[in-house]
Amino acid sequence: AGDLRSLAADKGYDDMGFREELRAEGVRPLIKHRVFAPYDHAHNARIDDDLYNQRSVCETVNSVIKRSYGSAVRARAWYRQFREIVLAAAVYNVEQAVKQ
């Protein structure tokens, strides 16, 4: 994740400390603000919709992978869990390429 340029997340991650940490690492936060005041609408209007909408595409793919291959990983070690997730994503990508 060293080349991460932006992070899109939903309003549940709306925390100023989190945003500041991302900016300190050189990552652009694409997180909608929860609306408590009129200026929150202005903050949300400044977010690039094309980049933010990639979040919904990622969530759809994650949902399809979880429904198709299961939502649990079987490995206990984190690196083996990561390997399982990467393999499931690779299989999904191959299936999509075959369909096209």
Mean residue pLDDT of the chain comes to: 91
Average confidence (pLDDT) over 59-63: 91
* pLDDT per residue as tens digits for the range 7-44: 998 888 889 999 999 999 999 999 988 888 999 899 88
- Taking the C-alpha atoms of residue 76 and residue 41, their distance in angstroms, rounded to an integer, is 43
- Evaluate whether 15 touches 32 at the Cβ level (below 8 Å): no
- Percentage of the chain modeled with pLDDT above 90: 60
Pinpoint the alpha helices (H) of 1-100: 16-24, 38-45, 49-52, 54-69, 78-99
- Taking the C-alpha atoms of residue 61 and residue 89, their distance in angstroms, rounded to an integer, is 9
The residues spanned by each domain of the chain are 1-69, 72-99
Name residue 7's beta-bridge partners: 29
The yes-or-no verdict on residue 1 having pLDDT over 60 is: no
Which pLDDT belongs to residue 34? Answer: 87
Radius of gyration of the chain (CA): 17
Q: Position of tokens 């429904």?
A: 67
